[in-house]
Structure 1
């Protein structure tokens, strides 16, 4: 008796390791173009771009916590967008009062775990405001540095992790992330810092600082993964082809932005 042939690993009917690469790349190019243009123009353009992204993330978070209340979640996203944009017009010390509005609105909507929602939503709102504040308070080159470090971390983590694989970073929370991809992201962040030192004359300390920003970016990614696992959600939404939701795409940026905002406010 002959045994059934073992399926080939190169079966053309099975999705390849890089099957989603072109869609991810196209979406990333569009997002980078929109984000880069808004950073360049600054002011209302950048504040509006970030506020819309934060509002979309807020909507996704509410949907994850209360999937049966989609319309109300949309209202929460609109409130969050308006609050972040409005806060960008105020001083850094008055902005928290405005950002409390969507937090209280979201907590009022929920019947479930308000504490987890408040922690995650507060992080998203204040990190989004922090990104706008950093663009206005510092030279635009610093904002581009932050963006490119996060993008380098994400891209290197994806390619290095896919190619080398190996031990998982935290399988209970994020089963796809590996130590190879994580360390590849750190190396790419340091390299990006070096590029900004050589090309734009930024201080050499930015090289090792880039690694910490990379870690904060990865922490943001892991925090969102933990939330999705807790709420049994695969993607925050399907708004961005190849990436899932806006939160899936911007979790790392929000993590890095929160760190830089706190450091800037604390030490200047």
Structure 2
């Protein structure tokens, strides 16, 4: 596929916005608690607002649900894990009463967002900066590798009805890139080879998060979740992959002795 001036029409804007997001995010990752938790709670509020907006909620209801979502995550983090878990379901359940339509979809997606966010802050607190950076890199290279490979190589579409721009070449490139990140961290930290497989699986989960968001946007009839991030769309357009990967990582950490040791 020949490349021309229009092959990457939004690249400069994407890079600028992505750099700003990365600086804020990595600073919070390095700082740890409470700054990282506060940032994630703010993102949860933004995600809930975007979702409620797409699903037709009144503005005041959307803002109320957004504030509730962020607050419930903060309180759940302050409480012992067992006591805090019920709070992660409160925002989704509140939507059942407050929304006039798309209630079930709001319930499911909001609950998954909140669980993923809780898993993210727990992962940072439990495993530190190194393994948080590993997760961020796995998601980032999945997105970046898919973006460039898809535009350079093109080819068959992955699921054109839901995500018309996603190609098989970009999808597989994301897996390969994530596997290389896993290999690099395995070499540096001395962890077991299973880390490569986990990295690829998280890449797949990241792509599933992207596809899930595309499906919701198609149902809502919108191109972007919002216009908060120039070149990327909204918060959900930027963090859909991280949400998918974080959900799977919750399962991985429950089923394995993570980080996986060599041997």
Do these two structures clear the TM 0.5 threshold for a shared fold by scoring above it?
yes
Alignment of 1:35-184 (within 5 A): 35-66=25-56, 69-184=58-173
Q: Distance in 2 between matches of 1:54 and 1:152?
A: 23
Instruction: Name the count of aligned residue pairs.
Output: 255
Per-residue CA deviation, residues 44-100 of structure 1 (Å, 9 max, x unaligned), is 111011111111001000001115x12221121111111111111123322222122
Q: Which segment drifts farther, 247-256 or 191-200?
A: 191-200
Q: CA deviation at 1:199?
A: 2.6
Alignment of 1:263 with 2:252, yes or no, is yes
Match of 1:244 among 199, 220, 233: 233
Per-residue CA deviation, residues 201-238 of structure 1 (Å, 9 max, x unaligned), is 33322112110000000000000001111121211100
Q: Distance in 1 between matches of 2:170 and 2:247?
A: 22
State whether residues 92 and 108 of structure 2, in contact with CA within 8 Å, keep that contact through their aligned partners in structure 1.
Answer: no
Normalising to structure 1: TM-score of the pair?
A: 0.91
Per-residue CA deviation, residues 3-29 of structure 1 (Å, 9 max, x unaligned), is xxxxxx97xxxx812110011011111
Q: Secondary structure at the match of 2:78?
A: coil
Alignment of 1:23 with 2:13, yes or no, is yes
Q: Distance in 2 between matches of 1:118 and 1:106?
A: 6
Instruction: Write out the 4+ residue segments of structure 1 that deviate beyond 4 Å after TM superposition.
Output: none
Alignment of 1:201 with 2:190, yes or no, is yes
Q: Which has the larger radius of gyration?
A: 1
Q: Distance in 2 between matches of 1:88 and 1:29?
A: 28
Q: Distance in 2 between matches of 1:16 and 1:214?
A: 28
User: Where does structure 2 lack aligned partners over 5 or more consecutive residues?
Assistant: 258-263
Q: CA deviation at 1:266?
A: 4.0
Per-residue CA deviation, residues 114-156 of structure 1 (Å, 9 max, x unaligned), is 1111111111011011100111122331111111000000000
Q: Distance in 2 between matches of 1:94 and 1:218?
A: 32
Normalising to structure 2: TM-score of the pair?
A: 0.92
Match of 1:189 among 168, 178, 200: 178
Q: Distance in 2 between matches of 1:190 and 1:202?
A: 14
| Cα root mean square deviation, aligned | 1.6
State whether residues 91 and 111 of structure 2, in contact with CA within 8 Å, keep that contact through their aligned partners in structure 1.
Answer: no
State whether residues 32 and 125 of structure 2, in contact with CA within 8 Å, keep that contact through their aligned partners in structure 1.
Answer: yes
